[in-house]
Structure 1
Amino acid sequence: MDRRTFVGGAAGMALTGLAGCLGGGGSGAETNVGMVYALGGLGDEAFNDMAHAGIQRAEEELGIAYDNTEPTGQSEFGTFQSQFASSTDPNYDLIGCIGFAQRSALQENASEYPDQNFMLVDAELDADNVASYTFREHEGSFQVGHLAGLLSTREFSHEGTYSGTEKTFSSNPDEKVVGFVGGKENPLIKKFEAGFIAGVEHADSEIEVRTAYAGSWNDPGRGQEIAGSMYDEGADIVYHAAGATGGGVFNAAGERGRLAIGVDSDQSLSSDASHTIVASMVKHVDTAVFNAVQNVVNDEFQGGSTIALGLDDEGVEPVIGTEYEGEIPQDVLDALDSSRQAIQDGEIDVPTEPEN
Structure 2
Amino acid sequence: MLKKRLAVLLAFVVVLATALAGCGNSSAGTTAKKSFKAGMVTDTGGVNDKSFNQSAWEGLKSFGKDNNLKVGSQVKYLQSTQASDYSPNLNQLVHQNYNVVFGIGYLMQSDIQKVAEQNPKANLGIVDAVAVDKNNKPLKNVASMTFEAEQGSFLVGVVAGLTTKTNKIGFVGGINSALIKAFENGFKAGVKSVNPKATLYVQYAGAFNAPDKGRSIASTMYTEGADIIYAAAGDTGNGVFTEAKNRTKNGKKVWVVGVDKDQYAQGLPQNVTLTSMVKRVDKAIYDVTARTKAGKFPGGKVLVYGLKQNGVGIAPTTKNISPKALAAVKTYKQKIIDGSIKVPATDAAYKSFLATLK
1:49 maps to a residue whose letter is Q
Alignment of 1:267-278 (within 5 A): 267-272=263-268, 275-278=271-274
1:329 is displaced (CA, Å) by 2.5
Q: Does 1:127 align with 2:135?
A: no
Which protein shows a greater Rg?
2
Residues 121-171 of structure 1 deviation map (CA, whole Å, 9 limit, x = unaligned): 11011111111100000000000001100111xxxxxxxxxxxxxxxxxxx
Kept in 1, the 8 Å contact 2:42–2:104? The answer is yes
Q: Distance in 2 between matches of 1:273 and 1:116?
A: 45
Partner of 1:30: 35
Secondary structure at the aligned position of 1:317 is classed as strand
Secondary structure at the aligned position of 1:275 is classed as coil
Kept in 2, the 8 Å contact 1:26–1:62? The answer is no
Cα distance, 1:281–1:28 mapped onto 2, change above 3 Å: farther
Match of 2:278 among 276, 279, 282: 282
Residues 327-348 of structure 1 deviation map (CA, whole Å, 9 limit, x = unaligned): 5332221111000000001111
Match of 1:224 among 190, 211, 215: 215
Residues 98-117 of structure 1 deviation map (CA, whole Å, 9 limit, x = unaligned): 11111101111111111110
Q: Distance in 1 between matches of 2:303 and 2:270?
A: 32
Cα distance, 1:319–1:61 mapped onto 2, change above 3 Å: same
1:201 is displaced (CA, Å) by 0.5
* TM-score w.r.t. length of structure 1: 0.82
Structure 2 stretches of 5 or more lacking a match?
Answer: 1-29, 132-137, 352-358
Residues 196-221 of structure 1 deviation map (CA, whole Å, 9 limit, x = unaligned): 00000011111111000111212222
Q: Does 1:262 align with 2:262?
A: no
1:113 maps to a residue whose letter is N
Residues 77-115 of structure 1 deviation map (CA, whole Å, 9 limit, x = unaligned): 11111222223xxx2111111111111011111111111
Q: Distance in 1 between matches of 2:185 and 2:334?
A: 19
Partner of 1:143: 155
Partner of 2:345: 352
Match of 1:41 among 42, 46, 49: 46
1:273 is displaced (CA, Å) by 5.1
Q: Distance in 1 between matches of 2:33 and 2:226?
A: 49
Q: Distance in 2 between matches of 1:66 and 1:309?
A: 24
Q: Distance in 1 between matches of 2:49 and 2:110?
A: 23
Kept in 1, the 8 Å contact 2:158–2:325? The answer is no
Q: Distance in 2 between matches of 1:244 and 1:202?
A: 29
Match of 2:110 among 104, 112, 115: 104
Q: Distance in 1 between matches of 2:316 and 2:198?
A: 22
1:28 is displaced (CA, Å) by 4.9
Secondary structure at the aligned position of 2:170 is classed as strand
Percent identity at matched positions?
Answer: 35
Larger helix proportion, structure 1 or 2?
2
Q: How many residue pairs are counted as aligned between the two chains?
A: 305
Structure 1 stretches of 5 or more lacking a match?
Answer: 1-24, 153-172
Q: Does 1:213 align with 2:223?
A: no
Alignment of 1:86-101 (within 5 A): 86-87=95-96, 91-101=97-107
Partner of 2:62: 57
Secondary structure at the aligned position of 1:205 is classed as coil
Partner of 1:73: 82
Aligned CA RMSD, in angstroms, stands at 1.7
2:130 maps to a residue whose letter is E
Partner of 2:4: none
Partner of 1:296: 292
Larger strand proportion, structure 1 or 2?
1
Cα distance, 1:275–1:28 mapped onto 2, change above 3 Å: farther
Partner of 1:85: 94
Q: Does 1:307 align with 2:303?
A: yes
1:35 is displaced (CA, Å) by 1.1
1:274 is displaced (CA, Å) by 6.0
Cα distance, 1:284–1:33 mapped onto 2, change above 3 Å: same
Q: Distance in 1 between matches of 2:82 and 2:169?
A: 33
Q: Distance in 2 between matches of 1:246 and 1:228?
A: 12
Match of 1:247 among 232, 238, 261: 238
Q: Distance in 2 between matches of 1:54 and 1:45?
A: 13
Cα distance, 1:274–1:267 mapped onto 2, change above 3 Å: farther
